[in-house]
Amino acid sequence: MKQTYLGHSPHHAATTPETIVAVARSIYDGAARLVDTVLVWQERYQDRRRLEAMNDYLLRDMGINRYDAMLESAKPFWRA
């Protein structure tokens, strides 16, 4: 009987330790990018809600008018 490594023949390139590490690193990097994206979206959502709640005095102090604040706060969280 042939010896197998992770269900494949020992000569299968996809089962080398280097390949397994590369795949694991790729999955980790993808997960890290996903977490970063969700955190950016969350911050963007919260910032837009805060902007929406600001009074005209604070908006003027920041150099933003009410119309521009409303346009920005109306954007979906995934749009920059």
Over the stretch 18-73, which tens digit does the pLDDT of each residue have?
999 999 999 999 999 999 999 999 999 999 999 999 999 999 999 999 999 999 99
Q: Is residue 5, in this structure, part of any structural domain at all?
A: no
Q: Is residue 58, in this structure, part of any structural domain at all?
A: yes
Which residues, 6 or more positions from 41, have their beta carbon under 8 angstroms from its beta carbon? 77, 78
Q: What is the pLDDT of residue 77?
A: 96
Residue 37 structural domain: 13-73
Structural domains of the chain, count: 1
- Three-class SS of residue 63? coil
Q: How far apart are CA 8 and CA 20, in angstroms?
A: 13
Backbone angles phi and psi of 5, in degrees to 5: -125, 115
Q: Is residue 26, in this structure, part of any structural domain at all?
A: yes
Q: pTM value?
A: 0.70
Q: Is residue 7, in this structure, part of any structural domain at all?
A: no
Q: How far apart are CA 44 and CA 37, in angstroms?
A: 10
Maximum CA extent, the chain: 80
